[in-house]
Amino acid sequence: MNENTPQRPEGQNDGSGVQPRVQVEPTPVAPQQPMPTQQMPSASAAPGSAGAQHAASGSHTASPAPAVETMSRTVVKTKTKKLPVFLSSLAGLAVGAVLVIALVMTGALDIDRGGGNVTAVTPSAGTQTIEIDSEDTTLAEAVSAKALPSVVSITTEIQDTSGMMGASEGSSGSIGSGVILDKDGNILTNYHVVQGATGIVVTLDDGSSYEAELVGSDESSDLAVIRLKDADPNVLTPIEIGDSDDLSVGEWVMAIGSPFGNEQSVSTGIVSALYRSTAMASASGTTIYANMIQTDAAINPGNSGGALVNANGELVGINSIIESYSGSSSGVGFAIPVNYAIDIANQIIAGETPVHPYLGISLTTVNALNARQNNLPVESGAYVNEVTEGGPAAEAGIEAGDIITALDGEEVTSADGLIIALREHAVGDKVVLTVVRGDKQLDVEATLGSDEALQEEQDSSTDQPGNELSDEQLRELLEELLGQGQGYGYDGYGYGGW
């Protein structure tokens, strides 16, 4: 597989010097033996995934104790004046007092002056009372106490009965995380956590387990909603929703999930950056991660679908992908902004098809190599392979063979760059596309449509019987995907239906 093709990270860095890449944060293989309090489906480790070697071998050989090296260092102690030490201590107490007061004033925490209770308020679910010593509580402790009951561990089972492509019949599974949205048992998670699952088990903060069903998903956004079966609403604590548009670089955040299957784990950090975007192409489609929140809070396999919360314990993001040499945390993780994620979730819960901006074109990337091979006028941009009749692009006058080089004045250097730029807009928005057509450059205004009809068409064609490919058709498809059937492409992949 091409090194530049994003994929689920596996194994450890082999020291070959390859650059880190943005990858879907993978889910660890589900354990063979479930915890006593869970009713997990049986699952086996997938080769190459996190923890797979342990599951395959079934045992470990103890390594000999490493040699102990004794190092001596000289420590120079200096005398300090008592007054500065006193002032420093006083300042520390003052800062701690300000943090507690700030939490109380914002309403995130309601401290019971008569005892040691902290009441975390969730608008849609009443209150939860947690025993905490209000005189010795750190910010992380307070936020953990409030948000942990709203984050769950998700175990999936995937049954393979096809036997296709050399795969043997059997089952496998993985572990991810999710966030409780309401008392009805709706849980928001990543699509890649529950993709292909034939069985889903959710474990709550109190250790109780429930079966869950898939309500709906949006593969291109990597989001899904599942719902608990027969869950008591009184044991569910919906999370409080924050506003991801209010986030600032440097702001304190906490990531909550089940890294490597370690349920209810928290890690803290800050917002490292905002508005990070990437697109991941695969044979099954393209996933768009637009305007992502970058954080240095540790995100590892199993954190997918978990919560990124702010200092008020409010959900601001859904942890989804990492950038790493090894596939584990390197301090560069990304979360889908909650404002976007909740909008998609609400559409799914309402039984609607999540919609995205749509131009009605298929694209491939222009680069220096294929520009020279095909005598193209520019060396970067998004090449229009095909224009859908009656679509927004056709109505705007876009033609096959055009090369889109900018959107609203912002440079477009690739197909995925254009797709990301489009996803940052809403259905109905007007955009100005800069187009190179032969030796001319044009500015074309287009009104973005909805891709709902396209999704329904794709779903219906997938569900129809008799769509099996012959060996010759499969060979032609693979040649097209690998870029052998045309002179230009993006890492072997084209982008259709955007």
Cα–Cα dist 468/482, whole Å: 20
Compute φ and ψ for 487, nearest 5 degrees. Answer: -85, -10
Active site residue 16: no
**Token duo for residue 461:** 């064609």
- Listed in sequence order, the residues at least 6 apart from 417 whose beta carbon sits closer than 8 Å to its beta carbon are 382
User: Which residue type, as a one-letter code, is found at position 160?
Assistant: D
Residue 138 CA to residue 364 CA, distance in Å, equals 51
Residue from 222, 296, 416, 451 carrying the catalytic annotation: 222
Other beta carbons within 10 angstroms of residue 63's beta carbon come to 6
> Which DSSP symbol is given to 165?
G
Q: Is 61 exposed, middle or buried (0-12, 13-18, 19+ CB in 10 A)?
A: exposed
Closest CA to 271 of 295, 297, 238: 295
Nearest to 307 by CA among 297, 316, 298: 316
Closest by CA to 239, choosing from 307, 337, 170, is: 307
Active-site annotation holds for 425: no
Of 144, 192, 221, 267, which residue is the catalytic one?
192
- Pick the catalytic residue: 177, 209, 221, 304? 304
Is residue 182 flagged as an active site residue? no
Structure tokens at 45: 């480790």
Tokens describing residue 158: 């995937």
What is the amino acid identity at position 277?
Answer: S
Catalytic residues: 192, 222, 304
